Amino acid sequence: MGQPTLSAHADVPLPLYSATISPKMAASGRVHLLLLLMSVSFCLCTLQGLKAPSGNGNGLGNQPVNPPAPVNIIGAPGPVNNVPVVPAVAAMTQPRRATGWKLAEEQSCRDDLTRLCPKHTWSNNLAVLECLQDRKEETEIAVDCNHLLWNYKLNLTMDPKFESVAMDICKSTITEIKECSEEERGKGYLVSCLVDHRGNITEYHCHQYITKMTSIIFSDYRLICGFMDKCREDINTLRCGSINVGEKDIHSQGEVIACLEKALVQEAEQQDQAHPIREECKKSIMRVAELSSDDFHLDRFLYFSCREDRERFCENTQAGEGKVYKCLFSHKFEEAMSEKCREALTTRQKLITQDYKVSYSLTKACKADLRKHRCNLDTNMPRAREARLSYLLLCLESAVHRGRTVSEDCQGEMSEYRRMLMEDFSLSPEIVLHCRGEMETRCSGLHRKGRTLHCLMRVGRGDKGSTVDGLCQSALQSLIQSADPGSDYRIDRALNEACESVIQTACKHIRSGDPMILSCLMEHLYTEKMVEDCERRLLELQYFISRDWKLDPILYKKCQGDAARLCHTHGWNETSELMPPGAVFSCLYRHAYRTEEQGRRLSRDCKVEVQRILHQRALDVKLDPNLQKRCLTDLGKWCSDKTGTGQELECLQDHLEDLLSGCGEVVGNLTELQSEDIHIEALLIRACQPVIQTHCHDVSDNQVDTGDLMECLVQNKHQKEMNSKCTVGVTHFQLIQMKDFRFSYKFKMACKEDVLKLCPNIKKKVDVVICLSTTVRNDTLQDVKEQRVSLKCRKQLRVEELEMSEDIRLEPELYEVCKTDIGRLCSNVVFGNAQMMECLKERKKQLSQQCHQRVFQRQEGEMLDPELDYQLMRVCKQMIKRFCTDADTKNMLQCLKQNKLSELMDPKCKQMITKRQITQNTDYRLNPILRKACKADIPKFCQPILNKASDDSELEGQVIGCLKLKYADQRLSPDCEDQIRVILHESALDYRLDPQLQIHCAEEIPGLCAEEAVAQEQTGQVEECLKANLLKIKHESCKKEVLNMLKESKADVFVDPVLHTACALDLKHQCAAVTPGRGRQMSCLLASLQDKRVRLQPECKKRLQDRMDMWSYAAKVAPAEGFSDLAMQVMTSPSKNYILFIISLGVIVLFLVGLLCGRITKRVTRELKDR
């Protein structure tokens, strides 16, 4: 449209028109634009409030409103405040003076103009007006000049002719804007409409004209059309200032609006305690704030409050489009920022949170996106809520998370305001309202940079026993949802500053601002790279993020389809408050570990993210909303003192049987999940990294963990790479598994059907293992064709039995029975590695009756199946590989015993084998092979001993001693004799294998054979010493045992290893044809000794002579107790033939004498009869 000429508008006041289109107007357009926006906006609000709703949707009234004549603000005609209208003002309405009248020519303002305004501005009324309006606050102007300016502006705004100017200057714009073209002319509605659509005005002169009019009106709230009528009552009630002309100058009038704005904010923050502002006044206040959003000059109170701060922080920032506001916002918490400016900025930010349109830049950047994503079409919500900044952020954030397009400009503006919300808690009226108590008692003095918010979050977490009101908790959650720091950690300034060093070291490979930064920080929680302040801030934020799955953008993006398919989340819109905390994620993780047979599984990408979240939440029980909610009572009851890392969950697992049903169910499900994927135990995995990398890397690299990693850790529990933290963690998990067989994933999957069929209603794992093991044993003993326990279950059952043998605590019943004995006898012994069980075995004579019985039963089981003997299998692992690779597991100990004296045998293993031999020789029941071989001999010869025995105590070698004597008498069955021979040989080499000898010679061994006993060379030296010192032995019981040894050696040279070694060559040469056993080889050697033709080895000859002397002495001190002993002594005597000859001769003589006497007696008897 061409520029209008003066002649075309002769009836328009020249000062207004010329100023509107002059080049200088463009130079001063920035300030005028801001001022005009505020004034006309208020005018627009007023007019809209008076008009009835029309098709444009602006709610304008249709009641006629005639432009008022120059009146005071109260409405009385005539002079303002009884001050006559100055001639210059009156002249403004006259065409004659309109063409040449200048403000600078008026006497009342000349002095002020000369003092304050540059001379080049004097010819332009609006430039003069701007100069005087924007003077420094402390500068005063004359009262008459002040009134002149005000009346001049009032006349301008009330003169209907400026609308005709708008119609000419904005002709094409009015045509383009449909709503404005339909407005009724002559009533001021047109300009109001143009101000409303000022952002759409592209025509330069039209835009400048509207801007100039706005700058005039917005300099004083009383000039804003209708504003005072709508807010008169609230101004008076709140005492926001005088409404009379002259009582306040043009600077202070901005304070009235500021006062109303603060009252509006306080109403949101205090509700019932604050004065309620009338709805039409609220709309007017928000409209003023909205129309002043592009240039801070239009917010008069903020402009004057922040004028120096603007020069200090934003000197190079051009006004317009809200740039100065944004600059000042970013420096709000700088030390150099004045408190008055900071307060004004905070008030404006609070208005933005109530209506996002108060932010020009946000409204402009996101206008198209709001329409595109239908963010203001929820008819179920009041308009006031739709306008809230939080609603806008939630709606657009949801669109971003769903992968929909939101412009970069809009996302940039959103980030700015999300950061603003996180920096200053006071911008959230709900937090100010509901968290006042918490702030006063726990978080005072921490206002800046998000510190107060994080303090409230820490209280909300319940750290250090603190609690927070439910409404405050909800307010905090809502704020986190709106700010969405999960998508960009930098939004949380407190977190960003605390974690900067960690991010630079641990997460430097991730792009700045990426959502994975938070995940990376969680992965390094409780590691050396983490710092304490970052750890605290991170947990405070994650507590709230964990309660809304949408706050983790990666999880939401990957799982939104699965959530809709499996969890029916389509019924919950993105801003709904009906969704229970943690409900969606709980649903997702229930489907995360389903098998193919079970169906309804998560997609692969979603499962990875669910596992990531599970791994992170395992670090702190408070990060699991469902668990914390259901276990709040139990946590207080059982775990109040467990404040260390991961201790709360461990505590709940330890007290699983004591938990309330709801809590027990949650903890049980989580533990069952951990058994399948031990990576959920992030702390354990970190602690066990060395052993995982060395021994378990094959299974740790599997994408799907089915319990293999934990099984590997248990098997390598005592490797050198295993540290104490890992050992404790693995053991704890093993202990928890004992509470329920479902907690052992591999065992559960292998034996689930067998448990249901054979062991129903049994829950505890140890009981299930015993039940299934008993079934397997019975089926094996009965030689059934088909085992009732499946093959896969039997294999896994074996693994579980072996694992249980490693720690006595894994057998709860045994542990409970022996707990007192452990504290009394083994307090210095650590658990694990079967050390505690070994301690109890070594001190079994001192154990309580119940514990002794259970330990004996355990030993009996280990002897039947040596593979369950953890210590034996661990210590002799390499020797088993060397000597017993082909041996059956049940014959492992037998194999080791046979290779015990090998030069290649490891000393530690040899010592362990000796321990087990000693144990076996204390009771025949602990020697399965002997028990089977002597099944008939034991009751036949040793029944009196069995009658005195009890099931819970060892027989201390009495039965074996009995069998030894029968062996000497050569009365045992062949199989039993073979086993006893082995035992005799072993015990002859090591006196410790003879329990009876140890018992009865307890004083003689250390007294007479101390050196030999200390040496422990296992070459029979102690036994040889006792034999040599037979005459010095005082105790009859000990002497009897030594004599029994001598007697046994006479029966078989093999059981006398010293003699056997000395005579090995002679046996080979002289007695090769003699069958071993029953004293035959000993008789051969004795005969060779008597035969002068045979030359025995000197050592053999000496040993034989010593044995004969011993036997002779034994015969004297220990005469035969019966015919069998006598016969044995004769048969083993070196003079056996001679003795037998004499006995035979005696028998013959006796027979002949008897025969002779018989014949004589018969003859005498006959002679007597004949008489």
Tell me the pLDDT tens digit for each residue of 575-598. 444 556 678 888 888 888 877 767
Enclosing H/E stretch for 477: helix 470-483
Q: What is the dihedral of CA 140, 141, 142, 147, to 10 degrees?
A: -120
Q: Are 459 and 443 in contact (CB under 8 A)?
A: yes
Phi (first) and psi of residue 176, to 5 degrees: -70, -30
Q: 678-698 burial, b for 16+ CB within 10 Å, e for fewer? A: bbbbbbbbbbbeebbeebbee
Residues 517/510, Cβ–Cβ less than 8 Å: yes
Q: Report H helices in 218-322.
A: 227-238, 253-270, 279-291, 300-305, 307-313
pLDDT at residue 192, as a whole number: 65
Selection from 670, 669, 672, 662 nearest residue 633 by Cα: 662
Rounded Cα distance, 1168 and 1144, in Å: 36
Distance of CA 146 to the CA centre of its chain: 68
Q: Which pLDDT score is estimated for 1144? A: 83
Using CA atoms, how far apart are residues 1077 and 981, in angstroms rounded to an integer? 9
| Alpha carbons 775 and 769: distance in angstroms, whole number | 10
- Residue 150: the pLDDT is 66
Contact 86, 108 (CB under 8 A): yes
Number of Cβ within 10 Å of residue 1139's Cβ equals 14
Report residue 83: phi and psi, to 5°.
-100, 120
Report d(CA 653, CA 667) in Å as an integer: 7
Contact 794, 787 (CB under 8 A): yes
- Identify which of 1096, 1076, 1099 has the alpha carbon closest to the alpha carbon of residue 1085: 1096
Low-confidence residues of the chain: pLDDT under 50:
1-99, 242-251, 379-383, 572-577
- Residue 85 has a pLDDT of 37
| Percentage above 70 pLDDT, the chain | 80
d(CA 910, CA 915): 9
pLDDT at 814: 92
Task: Say which residues have a Cβ less than 8 Å from residue 138's Cβ, sequence separation at least 6.
Answer: none
Residue 160: per-residue pLDDT: 66
* Residue length of the chain: 1171
**HSE on the CB side for 141, CA within 13 Å?**
31
Give the pLDDT of residue 87: 36
Q: What is the pLDDT of residue 791?
A: 93
646-to-56, 366, 430, 526, 711 alpha-carbon distances in Å: 61, 44, 33, 10, 22
Predicted TM-score of the model (pTM): 0.69
Contact present, 455 and 446 (Cβ < 8 Å):
yes
In angstroms, the CA 155 to CA 132 distance is 18
Beta bridge partners of 71: 77
DSSP secondary structure letters along 160-224? THHHHHHHHHTHHHHHH-HHHHTSPTTSSHHHHHHHHTGGG---HHHHHHHHHHHHHHTT-GGGS
Q: What is the pLDDT of residues 972-1012, one digit of tens each?
A: 899 998 898 888 888 888 888 888 898 899 999 999 898 88
pLDDT in the model for residue 217:
63
CB atoms closer than 10 angstroms to residue 410:
22
How many Å apart are CA 286 and CA 292, to the nearest integer?
10
Q: What is the dihedral of CA 692, 696, 702, 703, to 10 degrees?
A: -20
- Model pLDDT, residue 189: 63
User: Token pair 């905070």 is at which residue?
Assistant: 346
Query: Residue 464 has what pLDDT?
Result: 62
DSSP state of 50: H
Amino acid at 684: L
Unique residue bearing structure tokens 């003589």: 1149
- Please check whether residue 618 is in contact with residue 680, taking contact to mean a CB–CB distance below 8 angstroms: yes
What contacts 49, CB < 8 A, 6 or more positions away? 59, 61, 226, 230, 280, 283, 284
- Report d(CA 718, CA 727) in Å as an integer: 8
Q: Which residues make beta-bridge pairs with 493?
A: none
For residue 268, give the nearest of 349, 341, 206 by alpha carbon: 349
